[in-house]
Amino acid sequence: MRSTMMDAPLQVARILEYGATVHGTAEVVTWTGAEPRRISYAEVGRAAARLAHALRDECGVTGDERVATFMWNNTEHLVAYFAVPSMGAVLHTLNIRLFPGQVAYIANHAQDRVVLVDSTLIPLLARVLGELTTVRHVVVVGGGDPEPLRAVAGDRVTFHHWDDLLAGRPEHYDWPEVDERDAAALCYTSGTIGNPKGVAYSHRSIYLHSLQVCLPEGFGLGPGHRELAIVPMFHAMSWGLPYAAFLSGASLIMPDRFLQAAPIAEMIAAERPTLAGAVPTIWNDLLAYLDTHDVDTSSLKEVIVGGSACPPTLMRAFSERHGIEVIHAWGMTETSPLGSVSRAPAGVTGEDAWRFRYTQGRIPAGVAARIVGPLGEPLPADGTSVGELEVRGPWVTARYFGDDAPDPEKFHDGWLRTGDVGMLSPDGFLTLTDRAKDVIKSGGEWISSVELENALMAHPDVQEACVVGVPDRRWGERPLATVVVREGASTSVEQLRAFLAESVAHWQLPERWAVIDAVPRTSVGKFDKKVVRSRYAAGDLEVRELAGP
Amino acid sequence: MRSTMMDAPLQVARILEYGATVHGTAEVVTWTGAEPRRISYAEVGRAAARLAHALRDECGVTGDERVATFMWNNTEHLVAYFAVPSMGAVLHTLNIRLFPGQVAYIANHAQDRVVLVDSTLIPLLARVLGELTTVRHVVVVGGGDPEPLRAVAGDRVTFHHWDDLLAGRPEHYDWPEVDERDAAALCYTSGTIGNPKGVAYSHRSIYLHSLQVCLPEGFGLGPGHRELAIVPMFHAMSWGLPYAAFLSGASLIMPDRFLQAAPIAEMIAAERPTLAGAVPTIWNDLLAYLDTHDVDTSSLKEVIVGGSACPPTLMRAFSERHGIEVIHAWGMTETSPLGSVSRAPAGVTGEDAWRFRYTQGRIPAGVAARIVGPLGEPLPADGTSVGELEVRGPWVTARYFGDDAPDPEKFHDGWLRTGDVGMLSPDGFLTLTDRAKDVIKSGGEWISSVELENALMAHPDVQEACVVGVPDRRWGERPLATVVVREGASTSVEQLRAFLAESVAHWQLPERWAVIDAVPRTSVGKFDKKVVRSRYAAGDLEVRELAGP
Ligand SMILES: Nc1ncnc2c1ncn2[C@@H]1O[C@H](COP(=O)(O)O)[C@@H](O)[C@H]1O
C-alpha cells in the first residue's frame, strides 16, 4: 500500500534555499591574511544563482556536466558547492595536492568541462591544464593573471574572471527538481592503490548525511554555532560541514590557504569558532603552538579530529591544557564521510569517558556496520573480535564511478570493505587497530602499527611517530619505528624503546628505529606509510638496530 | 548521471534494529499506578520480532494488511509501533476517544484485520467491535477478560492474549526490505468536518521526521535523555517521540492511562524525564497542581507544547515558577506532525527571546512553508502579511487515504492547505493567529479568537478561556467569551472585560460572556469550538450581555 505522503526529493537546492532565507543572516568568513572577507548566507544564495546563470549561459553547462573546483576553502568554493549541484550539474572537487599526473587522470576520467581555480593556485593548475582534454572553460577567482594557464591551454579553453562572469546576472535561479538519486558531487579518493577512484554523491546522500552531521550525536549544529572548516573542501566534502551549516544555521569560517598553526590560532581568537574540524596533524601542530603562545581559544568547545587515528595524548592535552574537547571521528571518502563520532555514553565520566572517547566512535543509524573475518564471515559485535570493518547505508558508495560493477576487492555482498581493521562493541562503538594494509604480521602474530604510534606519541619528547612493517628474515615482518623528536628536546631511541616497553608487550617492541625530520604526508595530510616503506627499502633512512624480541 | 551511492531504503525496521542493539540498554518505563514496568530497548526488539511472528503465523497478516491498536501509551503499544511496519504491514492507531460510530467508520475504511486492545479499554472497544466488519483477530493486552468483546463479535473474530500469543516465538525476525515510499502507519485526523480522513505515513517520511525530531532545532534528543510521552500514540504518532527515541537512544516514559495531573507529577518526580510532550490543557492542569504541591521536577528541562496555541502566560508560569521551559511547537496529523519548533535565535535573550518563543516556531528545512491570500496567491514572508499557511515536504501528506486525487479544499498546487491563519517572518518564524474557521469576521474586520483567549488566560483568576464567533445581526459575527474561573477565585465578567480592555482594541471586546465549568474537548484534548458554538446556538449556555463596541 502506497503512502499518501508527498514526493518531495531531498536535494541540495533545498538546503541552499533554506539556509539563504531562514538563516540568511548567518555568515561565511574567509581568511585573507589581512581583513577577513564576510558575506551572509542570503548573499551566498544570490551569488549561487548568479554563478548558475553564468555557467549555463556563458560556459554552456547543461544537464549533468561536471564543473570542477581547484580551490582552497573559501566563499567562492562554497558558492560553487551550492550552485553546481542545485542547477543539476555535478560538482567535482579536485585535490590540489595530488601529483599533476593524478589530477589530469581524474579530470579526464570525470570529463570536467569547467574548472574554477583560485588565483593563488594558477601555477599549480598550469602544470596540468594542458593535459585536461575535456575542459572548455576556466574561471579564475581573485585578481590573478591567467597568463600561465593561457600559455598551456591552447584555443580550446575560454578564460573568465569570477567577478566579471557573475556581474549583472539575475539573483534568482529557478532550481530544477532533480531525481534525488542523481549525482550532485564527485570526489576521488586518495586512499587506494593505483589510480584514484571516484565516488559520486547523490542529492539524497548529501541531504541525509548533512542531517546526521547536525544531530547531537554528530557534530550537534544549530544557529549561533560557528564552524571553522579546516578540513579541505576537496577532501571528502570538508566532512559535510558546508552543507550542514546551511541546514542548521551555523556560520562558517574558512581558512583559505592559511593552514599553518599561527594563522589558525589567529582565526580562532578573532572569529571565535565554537567547533572546528581537521586531521590530527593540523591539531598536533596547533597544540605545539598553543602551548607556547597566549591565544584566546575560549569560544572553541569541540574540535572534530578524523581522517586518521587521533593519538590519545593529543586529546588529553587539548582537554587538560586548553579546555578544548577533541571529538574523535571516523569516516572515508566512500562514506560521505561520516562515519562514527566518539562521544561517551550519557552518564559516563572521568577515565571511563576517556576510554570511549579514544575509540573511533559510535556508529549512527544511517551506517550499518559489521566486522568480518578473513573469509568474509561476519564476526560478533562483542568488543573483542577483530576483523575488517564493512559498512553500508544510504550515504555509503556501492561502487566506484565509471565501474560497471562493484570491485570485489572493495565491495562484498552489498557492503563496502573499508580496509580498516578493528572491533565493534555491542553498543556500537568502533575501535580501529589499523589499516588492513598497515597491520604488521610478525611470526604469525599481528602487531597494530597505530597502537605503537600512540604509545610512542605519549612520550613528551616525541612530536610524531610513524610505525610501518618491514620485511624480516626470521619473523616475516617486523615494526620499524620512525620518530620526529620535539624541537629542543633530546631523547635517544634506547630511551624511547625503554618507554615503550612499559606499555607494550615485549615481543611487539620494534628493533629498527629511525629519527626523522618529518613524517611524509599524503595529499590530505595523513601519514604516508607507502613512502616510509619505500624510503626504508631504498636505504634512504638512517636506521639504528636495537636488541630484538 | 546516476550517483554511485547504495540503494539503502529508509525504513522503520532499521530504526528498530539500531535502537535495539546500539541503544539496547535504554529503557521504556510504563506507569501502572503501582510499581512501573520497565524493559530495555533490546527486549523491545525481541518482543517486536515475537509479535511479528505471531501476527504472521497466528493472525495470517501478510503484505500490507492493517493491524490496528486501541491502546494507551505503553510498552506493548511501542512494540506494535515497531513490529507492524517492520514486517511490512501497516500500523493503524485507532483514537480511543472518538465516538463509536467514528471508530467503526475508520476501522472499516482502513480495512483493519487485527486489533490490539488494552484490557482497560475492553469496554470501550466492545461498543464498536460488532460493527468492525473486516476484523478477524483481537489481541488483548494485559489480564482482562475478553468476554464483553466475544459477546458482540460473533464467530468471525478469534481472540488472543498478548502474553500467550508471543510466548515461545523466535526473538529474531528477518525484516524484509521495503520500498521506502510504502505505507508504514495510518492515522486518521480528527480535525476535519465530516468523516475523519486518513493519512498514510511512509517508511521514508517516518525516518526523515524522526531525524528532524532529534535535531538540536527540533527536540534535541540523544542518549541519556528521557522522554515523557504524554501526547497519545493514537494522536499523530505521539509527535514521533517513540521512533525518535530509538534513533537517538533517549529512554521513554509512558503514562498508560494515568493522564491526570497527580500521577503525571509523580512520574516526573520518580522517573526523572528530561523532556515531555503534551497539548496545552495537560500542562495547564499540571501547572495548577505544581503550584499547590511540592513536586521534584528538577530533571525536566523542556516540555514541548503543541496541538493548539499555547497561552504565553502558561509558558512564563512554568519558566518563572518551576524552571521548566515550555517549547511551543506547531504541527498537524497531515505533517507527521512536526512542524515548527519555537526556540529563540542564538544570542537573543530576555523579553526578546520570549517574543520568539510565543510564536509557533521556526520552520525546518524539511517543511517548505508559505502564506497565501484569499485567492491562493502567495504573500511575502515579511512577518506582517496575514493569510492561510500552506506547507509541503517529504513528511507532509499529498492527499487523504482512499482519495484518488487531492481534495481541492485541502490541497492546492501540490501544497497542503493547513487551515491555519497567520504570518511568516523572513527568518522562518511562524505566528498563527487562528484557525481559518475560527477567525471571527466582525463587520468586515477579522478578530483572532486565539488572541482574545491568550489575553483572558493572562488573568490570574481565569483557568481557561475559549472564544468563538457567534452570529450577530449588526456585525455579521461577534466573539462569545466562555470562561472557566479558577477554583476558589471570584471574578466577574465585568472585571474580565475591563481587564481585556487593557490589552485588546475596544471594537474587539466581546459583549457576550458565559462562565462555564469546563471547556469541551476534542478526542485529542483540544478545545472543541464546534461544540461551544452549537451549545450557544441551542441556548444551552447562560450568556450575559455587556455593552457592545
Ligand atoms: N578516526 C580515525 N581513526 C583511524 N583511521 C581513520 C580515522 N578516520 C579516517 N581514518 C582512515 O582514513 C581512511 C579514509 O581515508 P579518506 O577517504 O582519504 O578520508 C579510513 O578508511 C581510515 O583508514
Note the pLDDT tens digit of each residue in A67-93. 999 999 999 999 999 999 999 999 999
- Asked if residue B194 has a cis previous peptide bond (ω within 30° of 0), the answer is no
Q: B494 in helix, strand or coil?
A: helix
Q: Is ipTM strictly over 0.90? A: yes
| pLDDT for the residue A265 | 98
Q: Test B18 with A184 for CB contact under 8 angstroms.
A: no
For residues B52 and A346, the model is more confident at: B52
Q: Is the CB of A332 under 6 A from ligand 1?
A: yes
**Torsion over CA: A209, A213, A216, A217 (sign):** positive
**Rounded Cα distance, A155 and A151, in Å:** 10
One DSSP character per residue, A113-159 reads: EEEEEEGGGHHHHHTTGGG-TT--EEEEESS---HHHHHHH-TT-EE
Note the pLDDT tens digit of each residue in A328-387. 999 999 999 999 999 999 899 999 999 999 999 999 999 999 999 989 999 999 999 999
Q: Quick count: other Cβ atoms within 10 Å of Cβ B25?
A: 14
| pLDDT for the residue A437 | 86
Q: How many CB pairs under 8 A join A and B?
A: 203
Say which residues have a Cβ less than 8 Å from residue A111's Cβ, sequence separation at least 6: A65, A66, A134
Q: How many CA atoms lie within 13 A of B286 on its CB side?
A: 30
Q: Test A249 with B217 for CB contact under 8 angstroms.
A: yes
Q: Low-confidence residues of chain A, pLDDT below 50?
A: none
For residue B468, the 8-state DSSP code is: E
One DSSP character per residue, A328-382 reads: EEEE-GGGSSEEEE--PPTT--HHHHHHHHHSSEEPPTTSEEEEE-TTS-EE--S
Q: Quick count: other Cβ atoms within 10 Å of Cβ B354?
A: 15
Say yes or no to pLDDT of B421 above 60: yes
**Rounded Cα distance, A339 and A369, in Å:** 10
In the reported structure, the alpha carbon of residue A363 is separated from the centroid of ligand 1 by a whole-number distance in angstroms of 14
Which position has the grid cell 484485520?
B113
Q: Test A200 with B1 for CB contact under 8 angstroms.
A: yes
For residue B5, the 8-state DSSP code is: B
* Nearest protein Cα to ligand 1, atom 9: A307
Mean pLDDT computed over B93-99: 93
Q: From residue B209, how far is each of A543, B17, B443 by CA, in Å? A: 58, 18, 42
Residue B402 C-alpha, separation from nearest chain A C-alpha, in angstroms: 9
For residue B511, the 8-state DSSP code is: S
| pLDDT for the residue A154 | 85
| B543 contacts B480 by C-beta, under 8 angstroms | yes
Residue of A nearest to B345 (CA): A223
Residue of B nearest to A110 (CA): B1
Residue of B nearest to A413 (CA): B6
Residue of A nearest to B17 (CA): A365
- Asked if residue A337 has a cis previous peptide bond (ω within 30° of 0), the answer is yes
Using a CB-CB distance cutoff of 8 angstroms, which residues of chain A are in contact with residue B212? 211
Q: What is the β-pairing status of strands B183-189 and B197-202?
A: antiparallel
Note the pLDDT tens digit of each residue in A179-220. 999 999 999 987 556 789 999 999 999 999 999 999 999 999
- Out of A5, A214, A428, whose CB is closest to B202? A5
Q: Is the CB of A277 under 6 A from ligand 1?
A: no
Residue of A nearest to B336 (CA): A5
Q: List phi, psi (to 5°) of B433.
A: -105, -25
Using a CB-CB distance cutoff of 8 angstroms, which residues of chain A are in contact with residue B225? 346
Q: From residue A492, how far is each of A197, A462, A546 by CA, in Å? A: 42, 11, 12
Q: Test A5 with B395 for CB contact under 8 angstroms.
A: yes
DSSP bridge pairs for B470: B478
Q: pLDDT > 70: what percent of chain A?
A: 99
Q: Test A6 with B365 for CB contact under 8 angstroms.
A: no
| B462 contacts B483 by C-beta, under 8 angstroms | yes
**Rounded Cα distance, A222 and A30, in Å:** 20
C-alpha cell belonging to residue A359: 575509540
Which position has the grid cell 523532556?
B275
Q: What is the 3-state secondary structure (H, E, C) of B125-141?
A: HHCCHHHCCCCCEEEEE
Which position has the grid cell 478526542?
B523
**Rounded Cα distance, B138 and B136, in Å:** 7
Which position has the grid cell 503501582?
B34
DSSP bridge pairs for A90: A66
Q: Is the CB of A333 under 6 A from ligand 1?
A: yes
| pLDDT for the residue A452 | 94
Say yes or no to pLDDT of B320 above 90: yes
| pLDDT for the residue B475 | 86
Q: List phi, psi (to 5°) of A267.
A: -60, -40
Using a CB-CB distance cutoff of 8 angstroms, which residues of chain B are in contact with residue A249? 217, 346
Q: Is the CB of A431 under 6 A from ligand 1?
A: no
Mean pLDDT computed over B331-339: 96
Is A175 among the catalytic positions? no
Q: Is the CB of A307 under 6 A from ligand 1?
A: yes
| B48 contacts B86 by C-beta, under 8 angstroms | yes
B contact test, residue of A2, A3, A91, A113 with most B CBs within 10 A:
A3
User: How many residues in total does chain B contain?
Assistant: 549
* Nearest protein Cα to ligand 1, atom 15: A332
The catalytic residue among A180, A227, A334, A453 is A334
Kindly indicate the confidence band of residue B505, based on its pLDDT and cuts at 50, 70 and 90.
confident
Nearest residue to A271 (alpha-carbon basis) of A35, A507, A95 = A35
Nearest residue to B46 (alpha-carbon basis) of B11, B82, B15 = B82
Q: What is the β-pairing status of strands B325-331 and B544-545?
A: unpaired
In the reported structure, the alpha carbon of residue A332 is separated from the centroid of ligand 1 by a whole-number distance in angstroms of 5
| pLDDT for the residue B193 | 61
DSSP bridge pairs for A476: A472
* Nearest protein Cα to ligand 1, atom 4: A309
For residue B226, the 8-state DSSP code is: E
C-alpha cell belonging to residue B450: 486565539
Q: Catalogue the E-assigned strands of B24-111.
A: 27-30, 37-40, 66-70, 90-93
Using a CB-CB distance cutoff of 8 angstroms, which residues of chain A are in contact with residue B21? 381, 426-428
**Rounded Cα distance, A298 and A293, in Å:** 14
| pLDDT for the residue B254 | 98
Q: Is the CB of A419 under 6 A from ligand 1?
A: yes
- Asked if residue A460 has a cis previous peptide bond (ω within 30° of 0), the answer is no
In the reported structure, the alpha carbon of residue B59 is separated from the centroid of ligand 1 by a whole-number distance in angstroms of 49
Is B526 among the catalytic positions? no
In the reported structure, the alpha carbon of residue A306 is separated from the centroid of ligand 1 by a whole-number distance in angstroms of 7
**Most ligand 1 atoms within 8 A of CB, residue of A435, A528, A529 to mutate:** A435
Q: Quick count: other Cβ atoms within 10 Å of Cβ B321?
A: 11
Q: Is the CB of A190 under 6 A from ligand 1?
A: yes
**Rounded Cα distance, B254 and A334, in Å:** 41
Starting from the edge strand earliest in sequence, which strands make up the sheet with A90-93, in order?
A158-161, A137-141, A112-118, A66-70, A90-93, A183-189, A197-202
In the reported structure, the alpha carbon of residue A339 is separated from the centroid of ligand 1 by a whole-number distance in angstroms of 10
**Rounded Cα distance, A200 and A336, in Å:** 10
Residue of A nearest to B13 (CA): A365
Is A25 among the catalytic positions? no
Q: Is the CB of A361 under 6 A from ligand 1?
A: no
Q: Is the CB of A232 under 6 A from ligand 1?
A: no
Say yes or no to pLDDT of B192 above 70: no
- Which helix (H) or strand (E) covers residue A93, if one does? strand A90-93
Q: Is the CB of A387 under 6 A from ligand 1?
A: no
Q: What is the CA radius of gyration of chain B?
A: 23
In the reported structure, the alpha carbon of residue A208 is separated from the centroid of ligand 1 by a whole-number distance in angstroms of 21
Starting from the edge strand earliest in sequence, which strands make up the sheet with B197-202, in order?
B158-161, B137-141, B112-118, B66-70, B90-93, B183-189, B197-202
Q: Catalogue the E-assigned strands of B170-231.
A: 183-189, 197-202, 226-229
Is A301 among the catalytic positions? no
In the reported structure, the alpha carbon of residue B218 is separated from the centroid of ligand 1 by a whole-number distance in angstroms of 31
**Rounded Cα distance, B520 and B526, in Å:** 8
Q: Test B1 with A225 for CB contact under 8 angstroms.
A: no
- Out of A90, A393, A401, whose CB is closest to B8? A393
